[in-house]
Amino acid sequence: MAYTGNCPVERPTVLGLVVAAIWLVGLVVGVSALVAGDLVVAAVSVMLALVAPWLGLAWNLHARLQADELPFPGGGVPPTAG
């Protein structure tokens, strides 16, 4: 049963598609190099595949924070207890 509530659905962004492609290519190259016995290429490719989504998330968060105003009112300083 599908949920049909009023939740916003975002379309994939170009950045998301690029990160997904880098992840896929890195994973395929890494596994292929591992099967072929080239451990250096396999390690570098798999590390790239593991890091790419995190870099994409950081880039997306950075872009959203620049698009909005400061994340906290009062000069961007988070509220403190006390």
Per residue in 10-27, pLDDT (tens digit) is: 777 888 888 889 999 999
Instruction: Provide φ and ψ at 81, rounded to 5°.
Output: -80, 140
Greatest pairwise CA separation for the chain in angstroms: 61
CA atoms within 13 A on the CB side of 62: 7
**pTM score over 0.75:** no
Give the pLDDT score at 25: 94
